[in-house]
Structure 1
């Protein structure tokens, strides 16, 4: 009988906490709720003994939904203004231009002729390269946003004593500073996950080459490569420190693995485009003579690109050869002469 009031007291407390949790949850917007759930999943991940891919995927998805829900209204506001349209179109123009150039180079490397002779394959290659360029530019934008968030939090802290920190948000927006700090950490987490995904798939090799070329192009001719006078000291330091040498060796091994993934990704794209050229772009029948079983693309009135498929046990590959067009009206001088 003596524990009964205590039991009701505990029940009342639990009911009170439950009501407070409902009020707290109702006061949050979609992004804040996603951040809150992501924090709970992070706690579960840290408490678990074995790494859980499901929890990492859940955290990444929640953070991605939160950031999209926050920045999409800002994006639409920027798009409604004329300067905003100019900046966004410039951004997508950059992506489209380099996607066209990269796709043209890929088609030329495969077929050995200009991509203008294979317009459908060129368009297909553009569709394959646009997501990669959009991915890397999104990483850059996310990185820029990460640099602006600390400035945003600092301005909020300066305006807070004057009661002006709420002018950037709706009247019912709560926990602006705490949400900003969580957003900063969540953005870093998302940036790391996207970078790991891109390096694991090897899809950004061509993009990294382009970025490196742009960076090198911005360098002036006044920069002179001078041999590092401490190179010998570094070499001797590695000899004296086996642990450091082992670490550098592991990093080299990881770089080799990433390079192999990038090569595998390029090979997959090459195979996809090669199959597309032979099965869809090239013609089976033509006015020009060609090898039986091959397919051709007419480059002009006098030349053709002959494509032959070789079905091997391990993989299928193709050979491409530019030949003269031998038809009923032209090209008879290129026919092999029959031996008498």
Structure 2
């Protein structure tokens, strides 16, 4: 024992920083090896959030981590009879809403019932399934966020009876810290889902149906004056920022790095309808018909007496004009 004490030597002062960093990195590597892939993605999302990176990146990485974390739970639920029933009901809800929405949009584009455009209707359903999947998933995620505190309180009350909560995830390390981080990141993901759905708290004063416009035409003078004062104050603040900048074409954009959800909604709205018009003209309508038609038009026969003539039109909102016309053919000539 004394020999060991005599042989003990303190490290040289120059080696102390090196030993410190070696121990520090070895500790970091040990923690890294304990983390699952989902936990590593959560850590990356938190780092991006602390570094004030765009929330869109944080939400995307967080959503990927949530999917990786709960995919085994999904598989486990799918292999049970009750789980299959719940998941099939979930898919049926999405399909039903997408079916009804697609029918209304096809009718809006072509101007006739969607039953005359079966293939175009199916194509529109494919376009709207992702949108309704986001909507239903956002609603489910919102309900889960509300119910999760109640679930943990219930498990805490049942713990004295020997009832423990089932483990939904496979990893064991840092599960409590991971739960807290998941809740924080889920709020960011939920915010982006709600914004993609189209829930926007901003009202347009030019829209007569908006909340601000309804207040402005209300009989309450005090409320009207308060709203107008707030709007004038906001406009004056923007004008002061514009005058402080030497550039005449200054553009005030608070969330320059974030997604412009209004533009996303507009692009999706127009893109879907233009795609439906293109599909109806190119694939659904007939190039040749027994009825008289324009040279560059395609035709869908509605019945023995009417046709829907589809003509490319750059001036139209969706790129094509749809016109219901009489069917003039050999049996029903034009001169009769």
1:143 aligns with 2:146: no
Unaligned runs of 5+ in 1: 46-51, 203-228
* SS state at 1:93 partner: helix
1:331 aligns with 2:320: no
* SS state at 2:292 partner: coil
Deviations 1:61-113 (A, max 9, x none): 32122101122222222222222222222221111111111111111122222
TM, length-normalised to structure 1: 0.72
Aligned twin of 1:275? 278
1:288 aligns with 2:291: yes
Q: How far 1:126 moved relative to its partner?
A: 0.9
Q: How far 1:310 moved relative to its partner?
A: 2.7
* SS state at 1:327 partner: coil
Map 1:35-184 → 2, pairs under 5 A: 35-45=42-52, 52-53=53-54, 56-154=55-153, 168=167, 173-184=172-183
Q: How far 1:150 moved relative to its partner?
A: 2.9
* Cα RMSD for the two superposed structures: 3.6
Deviations 1:110-165 (A, max 9, x none): 22222111111111111111111111111112212222333455567678999987
Unaligned runs of 5+ in 2: 1-9, 201-217, 238-253, 255-259
1:321 aligns with 2:320: no
Higher share of residues assigned helix: 1
TM, length-normalised to structure 2: 0.72
* SS state at 2:51 partner: helix
Farther-moved stretch of structure 1 (11-20 vs 302-311): 302-311
Deviations 1:201-239 (A, max 9, x none): x9xxxxxxxxxxxxxxxxxxxxxxxxxx99454335446
* SS state at 2:311 partner: strand
Q: How far 1:316 moved relative to its partner?
A: 7.0
* SS state at 2:290 partner: coil
Farther-moved stretch of structure 1 (293-302 vs 190-199): 190-199
* SS state at 2:313 partner: strand
Aligned twin of 1:308? 311
Deviations 1:146-201 (A, max 9, x none): 2233345556767899998785267860222221111100100111233344449x
Equivalent-residue separation in structure 1 for 2:143 and 2:236 (angstroms): 33
Aligned twin of 2:191? 192
* SS state at 2:324 partner: strand
Equivalent-residue separation in structure 2 for 1:6 and 1:175 (angstroms): 36
